[in-house]
Amino acid sequence: MDSIVLKSYGKINLGLDVVKRRPDGYHEVRMIMQTVGLYDTLTMKKQKKDEITMRCDLSFLPTDQKNLVYQAAALMKEKYGISAGVEINLRKRIPVAAGMAGGSSNCAAAIKGMNQIFDLKLSTEEMCEIGVSLGADVPYCIWGGTALAEGIGEKLTRISPMPDCQILIAKPGISVSTAFVYKNLPLDQLQHHPDIDGMLRNLEEKDLDGICSKLENVLETVTIPRYPIIRQIKEHLLTMGAEGALMSGSGPTVFGIFKEKKTAKKALESLRSIQEVKQAYVVEPVQQ
């Protein structure tokens, strides 16, 4: 196989709790991760010239060592003594810097792609080891599907898949720095923590109402007061029939969970009235 086309899916967090701030600055988390059907397309092709060449349809994204895809290819070339080069093309749809792990997902896809085109025969575990050196969320993106992520996000447990539903994803045109959000999280003063264990039970029971009643992300305590548009979108989705709505990751992407496709599509249409929403999609949960 000389070339491969990979779907690189985004994720949402059904629950996000921060349990501890470590002395090294990292945060210990408990997150329920779910892959969704919104994906970037990554094409990788072997080339004779010993070079990594990368193109991306978003001109503001780097296509050099600063891109996680490039980093994954370079690291694996070095680690496995690969003398051939690789030509990479990335087509983005996942909102950038938005809490959907787009970069980590692209990185995971690149690791899988290198494994395939250079016939490295790596196990998922070996790929996760490479991934974690590039980002805490990369191992999860290699797994995909529904998972509990603990530690700094790299300790993964497979959990029951999310029941069938429609997920409306809405990204306002603001940028939120992940570092800023974590730095400003008043961990000792949090009044409430997400019921992650309760949600795990709801997932097992395929109880969508239970899941929707427990959607919670502690990072909203930082982002919502600063960016009220996040609350406005959440409230709008609930008014339009969402069973629950939440900010994903460190934001600003908001998602709403719907039982019926028709209701979700109607809510999608209605988002036109909120000018700040720059990207919106209706997708379904994906199991990989």
Report d(CA 185, CA 62) in Å as an integer: 29
x/- map, 168-207, ligand ATP, by CB under 6 A: ----------x-----------------------------
167 binds ligand ATP (CB under 6 A): no
97 binds ligand ATP (CB under 6 A): yes
Beta partners for 148? Answer: 32, 157
Number of residues this chain uses to bind ligand ATP (CB under 6 A)? 18
Total residue length of the chain: 288
**Candidates 40, 137, 171, 214; catalytic one:** 137
Per the omega criterion (within 30 degrees of 0), is the bond before 252 cis? yes
Check if 137 is active-site: yes
Among 100, 230, 240, 246, binds ligand ATP (CB under 6 A): 100
Q: What is the DSSP-derived secondary structure letter of residue 285?
A: B
Report d(CA 255, CA 240) in Å as an integer: 13
Check if 195 is active-site: no
Among 29, 54, 102, 147, binds ligand ATP (CB under 6 A): 102
61 binds ligand ATP (CB under 6 A): yes
H or E element in which residue 255 lies: strand 254-258
Report d(CA 194, CA 217) in Å as an integer: 7
Q: How far is the CB of 261 from ligand ATP (least distance, A)?
A: 26
Crossing angle of helices 102-117 and 124-132, rounded to 10°:
130
Do residues 103 and 59 touch, judged by C-beta distance below 8 A? no
x/- map, 131-150, ligand ATP, by CB under 6 A: ------x-------------
Q: How far is the CB of 134 from ligand ATP (least distance, A)?
A: 10
Among 34, 35, 104, 202, binds ligand ATP (CB under 6 A): 104
* Annotated binding-site residue? 105: yes
- Positions annotated as catalytic residues are 11, 137
- Residues making up the annotated binding site are 95-105
